[in-house]
């Protein structure tokens, strides 16, 4: 059987600081198949961006991968020298970040940037690259693409710039796209256009997408599977419908319940008491136990791994029975 | 009433309020290129009133003028046109009078940028108390700060810390404690939870609703998140390019939206219920507020636009319980009877 397009095994990322080593990611494991969208959700600081950064080899020193493996089509990429990883990053993994201005070069036209990217990574000539550049702008919904190809990034609105960034990430036809909060800064109207585009690509080209966002609505309509992160670990992972409609982990359940509904007014929203711990203060056992309404003795002592929770996998001792039966 | 104003007056009345920004290039450039002045009409003729103890929310896409209205209402901008009355007083006079000024406060989107990082939390919270001379003596001030911290769900001991020692949600609690410290009756909240995670947002929204009940507060609430707006509002105003296009009781707006833009906004919200409801993006983008389209500014994106829409700007007219600025609604060609509710949003296993 072919290996998954992307596999992350037991990933650990550490930041040495003056006050000791902080563990930003701890035992993170998941896989993404070709043509699949994996949503990654969780509160800010949960480790979503860090996971994306580790995969594309962009963890900022002194942070470092301290354990585990990252495999692209079965080949390890976490231990590659910088130059080789850089090539893979352009050709096989495309990255979309939240702030389009950090990705776009203000000194070059949008067309030049698209053409350069394609010339670097694809076996095509200048003429073909120019033709495809217009095609990509059309595909991401830039009106009058042929005229706008000579525009500079600052001549576009925020939403259009973000679409250009997406075209840039996709034009070298990568197999995997890591999109970190690609629509968070956008209005829902533009957000919907971009989500539709990403979904279309997975369908048409078999591109795999890791979609990082804290917007459950975006996840619900885009992702095939979801990983919920908490304090540097995966709390729950499974098919999107299961995770959204029948969360098995108490944290996921709390998160889902706290989302205000659009179709009715409730007097008081369900809330999870307290806050996610800082990296320096992650409690022993289950990291969620101080906030968990169902915590019991074992939760405070022993850290749960991902257990079969019937439909999803959840890092929660409540599911030990079922996991035991299936083991 | 102590200030002599009409006690039945709304907390806030805004009439034909406008703010235009001059975004012209430098004079020399204009002379050389023959280019005229460029005026950006950020807010262009907005009227509404907020009765005491209620919440009016403003919604709309980025750049439609929500924050500019907020800043006009608290006096951070001088209006280009129109007027603001606060508790029956002209805003200008109210701002000049400390007794009135302390009655209104503002909460901002970014709970970090709005707190001085070098001050202890207790000093941040006490600042309005001192500025308005609200309590006498150190001991009384400490007591008041401790009471405020407790009120927003923090510990009196947190007063000794600095803002960076708190999470985003805790910092927003500190902003709220600070805003409450002058015992205001009216709070302008500009995207108070937009920078927060949903779980933290739920805590802050619950807190704001509880405070409103206990203290009888009046809110002007600004957000682009329609689900949040539904939870907090008595009435909702929808803005497009500096104008109100629909103003209605919250329940009416969400169950029977009339303006095509309001409908488009609601349809564009992602469906968490996974009912398979297709999200319909609003086509196109918000046009430039420097050169808004003639007639109805929404016409380039509106499925109901006709020749009249392209030529004549619609006025805000009553339509049932709402007021709506749309020719199609006025002419009864909007297919008013509406609409299965948007998908059920909560997970079944909540
Ligand atoms: N000081 C200013 N000078 C020039 N233009 C301004 C100024 N403040 C706001 N604007 C413009 O006025 C319009 C309305 O801005 P405003 O900040 O009120 O929008 P908003 O509805 O709050 O948007 P958002 O949802 O992005 O916060 C925008 O086009 C903005 O660029
Ligand atoms: N340079 C750094 N040094 C120390 N800790 C860091 C650094 N960058 C990020 N972190 C920490 O790593 C954790 C995960 O961060 P991140 O992946 O950005 O979270 P998310 O994207 O889920 O909001 C956070 O606690 C964050 O504070
Ligand atoms: S392991 Fe225990 S504390 Fe952690 S989520 Fe499950 S029940 Fe709660
Ligand atoms: S006035 Fe015309 S263009 Fe404007 S919203 Fe109504 S129907 Fe659409
Ligand atoms: Mg992040
Ligand atoms: Mg604003």
Question: Is the model's pLDDT at A316 over the cut of 50?
Answer: yes
Q: Got the DSSP string for B11-67?
A: SEEEEEEEEEEE-PPPHHHHHHHT----EEEEEEEEEEEE-TT-EEEEE-STTSSHH
pLDDT tens per residue across span A185-233: 677 767 777 788 788 888 888 899 999 988 888 898 889 999 999 999 9
* Of A202-206, B55-59, B154-158, B174-178, the least confident: A202-206
- How far apart, in whole angstroms, are the C-alpha atoms of residue B72 and residue B45? 12
Segment B212-255, tens digit of pLDDT: 999 999 999 999 899 999 999 999 999 999 999 999 999 999 99
DSSP state of B181: T
Report d(CA A319, CA A312) in Å as an integer: 10
Query: How far apart, in whole angstroms, are the C-alpha atoms of residue A120 and residue A91?
Result: 9
Give the ligand with the smallest distance to the CA of A59: 2
Give the integer Cα–Cα distance in Å for A249 and A270: 16
Interface probe for A, chosen from B198, B256, B284 (most Cβ of A below 10 Å), is B198
Residue pair B237/B246 in contact (Cβ under 8 Å)? The answer is yes
Instruction: Check: CB of residue B201 under 8 Å from CB of residue B213.
Output: no
Task: Give pLDDT, residue A327.
Answer: 41
Q: Helix A250-257 crosses helix B198-215 at what angle (to 10 degrees)?
A: 50
Q: Is the dihedral of CA B303, B308, B312, B316 positive or negative?
A: negative
Structure tokens at B64: 């439609």
In percent, how much of chain A has pLDDT > 70? 95
Query: What is the complex's ipTM, to 2 decimals?
Result: 0.84
* Consecutive H or E run containing B318: strand B317-319
pLDDT, chain A, mean: 90
* Mean pLDDT, chain B, integer: 88
Give how far A214 is from chain B: nearest CA, Å. 7
CA–CA distance from B148 to each of A151, B124, B156, B211, B232 (Å)?
53, 12, 8, 11, 22
State the Cα–Cα distance between residues B187 and B222, nearest whole angstrom.
11
* A193 contacts in chain B (CB < 8 Å): 281
Share of chain B above pLDDT 70, in %: 90
Beta bridge partners of A96: A179
Residues in chain A within 8 Å Cβ distance of B343: 263
- Structure-token pair, residue B173: 């609690």
Consecutive H or E run containing B81: strand B81-86
Q: Quick: pLDDT tens for B72-116.
A: 999 999 999 999 999 999 998 888 888 888 999 999 887 777 889
| Mean pLDDT across A302-320 | 96
User: Of the residues A299, A312, A319, which should be mutated to test ligand 3's pocket, given the most ligand atoms within 8 Å of the CB?
Assistant: A299
pTM for the model:
0.87
The confidence band for B310, taking pLDDT boundaries of 50, 70 and 90, is very high
Q: Which of A77-86, A298-307, B334-343 has the lowest mean pLDDT?
A: B334-343
Closest among B341, B342, B263, B255 to B301, alpha carbons compared: B263
User: Is B327 a residue whose pLDDT tops 90?
Assistant: yes
| Residue B340's pLDDT band (cuts 50, 70, 90) | very low
Q: Are B58 and B76 in contact (CB under 8 A)?
A: no
The residue ranking higher by pLDDT, A156 or A229, is A229
Segment among A195-199, B155-159, B317-321 with least mean pLDDT: A195-199
Q: In which band, very low, low, confident or very high, does the pLDDT at A63 lie, cut at 50, 70 and 90?
A: very high
Interchain pair A262, B230: CB under 8 A: yes
What proportion of chain A, given as a percentage, has pLDDT over 90?
61
Give every CB contact of residue B232 below 8 A, 6+ residues apart in sequence.
B55, B57, B205, B208, B209, B219, B221
| Helical segments of B35-163, H only | 66-73, 91-96, 98-101, 121-131, 138-151
Residue B314 Cβ inside 6 Å of ligand 4? The answer reads: yes
pLDDT reported for residue B275: 64
C-beta of A286 in contact with ligand 3 (< 6 A):
yes
**pLDDT number for residue B337:** 45
Closest atom of ligand 3 relative to the A296 alpha carbon? 2
Report the pLDDT value the prediction gives residue A192, as an integer from 0 to 100: 74
B157 vs B36 pLDDT, higher one: B157
Whether the predicted pLDDT of B315 surpasses 80: yes
**Would you say residue A92 has pLDDT above 80?**
yes
Count, in order, helices (H) and strands (E) of chain B. 13, 12
Q: In the numeric block, which tokens belong to residue A164?
A: 């250009």
Helix axes A82-91, A110-121, angle to 10 degrees: 120
User: What number is the average pLDDT over the span B6-28?
Assistant: 87
How does strand B322-324 pair with strand B243-249? antiparallel
Sequence-ordered alpha helix ranges (H) in chain B: 27-33, 66-73, 91-96, 98-101, 121-131, 138-151, 168-180, 198-215, 226-232, 250-255, 260-267, 307-311, 327-330
Average pLDDT of span A157-184: 86
The pLDDT of residue B278 is above 70: no
Residue A44 is predicted with a pLDDT of 83
User: How distant is the Cα of B300 from the closest Cα of chain A, in angstroms?
Assistant: 14
B38 Cβ contact partners less than 8 Å away, ≥ 6 residues apart:
B22, B23, B24, B25, B290
How much distance in Å is there from the Cα of A12 to the middle of ligand 2? 13
More confident residue, B309 or B291: B309
Q: Of A64 and B165, which is predicted with more confidence?
A: A64
pLDDT(A324) > 60: no
Is the Cβ atom of A49 under 6 angstroms away from ligand 2? Answer: yes
* Interval A243-263 mean pLDDT: 94
Say if CB A225 and CB A237 are below 8 A apart.
Answer: yes
The residue among A68, A129, A58 whose CA lies nearest residue A96 is A58
């Amino acid at each position: 059987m072919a290996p998954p397009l992307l596999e992350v095994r037991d990933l650990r990322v550490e930041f040495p600081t003056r006050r000791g080593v902080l563990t930003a990611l701890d035992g993170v494991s998941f896989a993404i198949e070709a043509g699949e969208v994996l949503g990654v959700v969780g509160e800010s600081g949960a480790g979503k961006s860090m996971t994306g950064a580790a995969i594309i080899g962009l963890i900022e020193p002194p942070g470092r991968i301290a354990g585990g493996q990252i495999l692209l089509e079965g080949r390890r990429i976490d231990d590659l020298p910088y130059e080789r990883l850089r090539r893979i990053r352009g050709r096989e993994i495309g990255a979309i970040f939240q702030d389009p201005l950090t990705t776009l070069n203000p000194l070059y036209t949008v067309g030049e940037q698209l053409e350069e990217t394609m010339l670097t990574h694809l076996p095509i000539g200048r003429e073909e690259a120019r033709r495809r550049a217009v095609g990509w702008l059309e595909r991401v919904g830039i009106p009058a693409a042929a005229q706008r190809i000579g525009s500079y990034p600052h001549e576009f609105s925020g939403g259009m710039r973000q679409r250009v960034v997406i075209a840039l990430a996709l034009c070298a036809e990568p197999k995997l796209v890591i999109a970190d909060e690609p629509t968070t800064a956008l209005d829902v109207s533009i957000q919907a256009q971009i989500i539709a585009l990403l979904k279309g690509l997975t369908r048409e080209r078999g591109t795999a997408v890791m979609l990082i966002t804290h917007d459950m609505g975006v996840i619900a309509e885009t992702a095939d599977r979801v990983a919920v992160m908490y304090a540097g670990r995966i709390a729950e992972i499974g098919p999107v419908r299961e995770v959204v409609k029948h969360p098995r982990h108490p944290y996921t359940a709390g998160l889902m319940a706290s989302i205000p509904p659009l179709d009715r007014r409730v007097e008081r929203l369900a809330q999870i008491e307290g806050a996610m711990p800082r990296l320096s203060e992650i409690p022993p056992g289950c990291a969620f136990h101080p906030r968990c309404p169902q915590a019991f003795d074992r939760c405070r002592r022993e850290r749960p791994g991902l257990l079969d929770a019937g439909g999803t996998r959840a890092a929660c001792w409540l599911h030990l029975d079922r996991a035991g039966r299936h083991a | 009433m102590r200030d002599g104003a009409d006690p039945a007056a709304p907390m806030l009345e805004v009439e034909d309020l406008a703010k235009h920004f001059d975004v012209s290039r430098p004079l020399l450039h204009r002379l050389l290129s023959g280019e005229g002045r460029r005026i950006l009409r950020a807010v262009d003729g907005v009227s509404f009133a907020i009765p005491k103890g209620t919440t009016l929310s403003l919604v709309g896409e980025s750049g439609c003028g929500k924050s500019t209205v907020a800043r006009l209402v608290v006096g951070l901008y001088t209006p280009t046109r129109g007027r603001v009355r606060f508790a029956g007083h002209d805003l200008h006079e109210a701002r000049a009078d400390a007794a009135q000024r302390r009655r209104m406060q503002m909460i901002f989107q970014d709970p970090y940028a709005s707190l001085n990082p070098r001050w202890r939390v207790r000093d941040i919270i006490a600042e309005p108390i001192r500025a308005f001379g609200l309590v006498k003596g150190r001991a009384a001030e400490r007591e008041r700060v401790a009471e405020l911290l407790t009120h927003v769900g923090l510990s009196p001991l947190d007063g000794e810390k600095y803002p960076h020692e708190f999470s985003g949600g805790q910092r927003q609690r500190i902003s709220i404690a600070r805003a409450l410290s002058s015992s205001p009756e009216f709070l302008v909240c500009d995207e108070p939870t937009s920078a927060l995670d949903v779980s933290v947002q739920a805590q802050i929204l619950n807190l704001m609703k509880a405070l409103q009940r206990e203290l009888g507060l009046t809110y002007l609430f600004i957000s682009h998140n329609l689900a949040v707006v539904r939870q907090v509002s008595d009435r909702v105003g929808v803005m497009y390019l500096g104008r109100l296009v629909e103003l209605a009781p919250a329940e009416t707006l969400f169950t029977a939206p009339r303006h095509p833009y309001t409908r488009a906004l609601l349809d564009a919200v992602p469906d968490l219920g996974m009912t398979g409801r297709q999200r319909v993006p609003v086509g196109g983008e918000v046009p430039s507020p420097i050169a808004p389209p003639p007639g109805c500014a929404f016409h380039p994106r509106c499925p109901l636009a006709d020749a009249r829409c392209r030529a004549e700007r619609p006025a805000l007219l009553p339509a049932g319980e709402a007021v709506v600025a749309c020719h199609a609604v006025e002419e009864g060609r909007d297919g008013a009877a509406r609409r299965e509710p948007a998908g059920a949003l909560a997970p079944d296993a909540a």
